[in-house]
C-alpha cells in the first residue's frame, strides 16, 4: 500500500494522500508504518542491490550515475535549498539525489542512492538535528558522491563493461 502511494501521481506525499492513493479510508496504517516502524533505507537499498545484481548480472552490463531533483515547497526536509534542478530545468527550491543504476540485457534497476546535503545544511547543527540528518553525513559534492558510489559498487564486484554519467556529474568529476 505504501509503495503504491509513493509511486502514485499524487503531488504531495502526506500520510492522508498516501492512504487515499492506496485505497484506505484513513491514514492511520500509513502513519503507523512511517512513525513507529523501525527500518533502514540503507539496509533496504543493500537488499535491492544484491537482488538486482544477482538477477541482472552481465559482464556487458552498464553502471549509470545521475542526479535528479525533487521540487519542494517547504524548507524543513533534509537538504532542501534553492539550487539547480535538472528536473525543473532551472534553480528551484528542491532536494537533489544522486543515484546509481545498473542495466544489462536482462533488465534495469536502481541500486544505490545518496541525498545531496548543501554546505549550508552540512554546517548548521540545529537544522541537521531538526531534520534528523545522521552525524556521519558531511558535505560532499555531487561528483564526489558519484565517484564514491562507483568505487564502492566496483569494489563489491558489480560486473560492468562501462560506467556512464550525465554531463554535469562527468565534467565535475573530471575536474576533481
Domain identity same for 1 and 73: no
Q: Are residues 133 and 105 in the same domain?
A: yes
- Cα-Cα end-to-end distance for the chain: 43
For residue 21, the model assigns a pLDDT of: 79
- Give the pLDDT score at 86: 85
Domain check: are 93 and 103 in the same one? yes
The whole-number average pLDDT for the span 138-167 is 92
**Residues 7, 85: one domain?**
no
Q: For residues 28 and 96, state if they share a domain.
A: no
The model's confidence at residue 174, banded by pLDDT at 50, 70 and 90, is low
pLDDT at 175 over 60: no
CB half-sphere exposure, 173, CA atoms < 13 A: 21
**Whether residue 32 sits in one domain with residue 45:** no
Which residues constitute the domain of residue 16? 1-38
Q: What confidence score (pLDDT) does residue 28 get?
A: 81
Mean pLDDT, the chain, as a whole number? 87
- The DSSP call for residue 58 is -
The count of structural domains within the chain is 2
Q: Which residues pair with 64 in a beta bridge?
A: 101, 164
* Together in a domain, 65 and 117: yes
The answer to whether residues 87 and 45 belong to one domain is yes
Residues 128 and 77 in one domain: yes
Residues 98-145 pLDDT 10s: 999 999 999 999 999 999 999 999 999 999 999 989 988 999 999 899
Same domain assignment for residues 90 and 171: yes
Residues 45, 25: one domain? no
**Rg, Å, the chain Cα set:** 18
Identify whether the C-beta of residue 116 lies closer than 8 Å to the C-beta of residue 79. Answer: yes
Q: Give pLDDT, residue 112.
A: 96
Residue 171, pLDDT > 70, answer no
Whether the pLDDT of residue 39 is over 80: the answer is no
Are the CB atoms for 37 and 48 separated by under 8 Å? no
pLDDT in tens, 52-91: 999 999 999 999 999 999 999 888 899 999 999 888 889 9
Residues 24 and 45 in one domain: no
Q: What's the mean pLDDT in 16-32?
A: 81
Yes or no: say if 8 and 21 are a contact pair by the CB < 8 Å rule: yes
Amino acid at each position: 500500500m505504501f509503495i503504491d502511494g509513493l509511486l502514485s501521481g499524487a503531488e504531495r506525499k502526506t500520510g492522508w494522500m498516501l492512504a487515499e492513493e492506496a485505497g484506505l479510508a484513513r491514514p492511520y496504517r500509513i502513519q503507523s508504518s512511517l512513525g513507529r516502524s523501525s527500518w533502514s533505507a540503507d539496509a533496504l537499498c543493500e537488499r535491492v542491490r544484491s537482488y538486482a545484481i544477482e538477477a541482472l548480472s552481465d559482464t556487458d552490463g552498464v553502471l549509470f550515475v545521475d542526479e535528479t531533483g525533487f521540487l519542494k515547497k517547504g524548507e524543513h526536509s533534509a537538504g532542501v535549498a534553492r539550487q539547480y534542478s535538472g528536473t525543473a530545468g532551472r534553480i528551484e527550491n528542491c532536494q537533489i539525489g544522486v543515484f546509481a543504476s545498473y542495466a544489462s540485457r536482462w533488465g534495469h534497476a536502481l541500486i544505490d542512492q545518496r541525498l545531496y546535503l548543501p554546505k549550508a545544511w552540512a554546517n548548521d547543527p540545529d537544522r541537521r538535528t531538526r531534520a534528523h540528518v545522521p552525524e556521519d553525513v558531511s558535505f560532499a559534492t555531487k561528483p564526489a558522491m558519484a565517484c564514491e558510489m562507483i568505487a564502492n559498487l566496483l569494489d563489491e564486484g558489480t560486473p560492468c563493461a562501462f560506467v556512464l554519467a550525465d554531463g554535469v556529474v562527468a565534467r565535475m568529476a573530471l575536474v576533481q
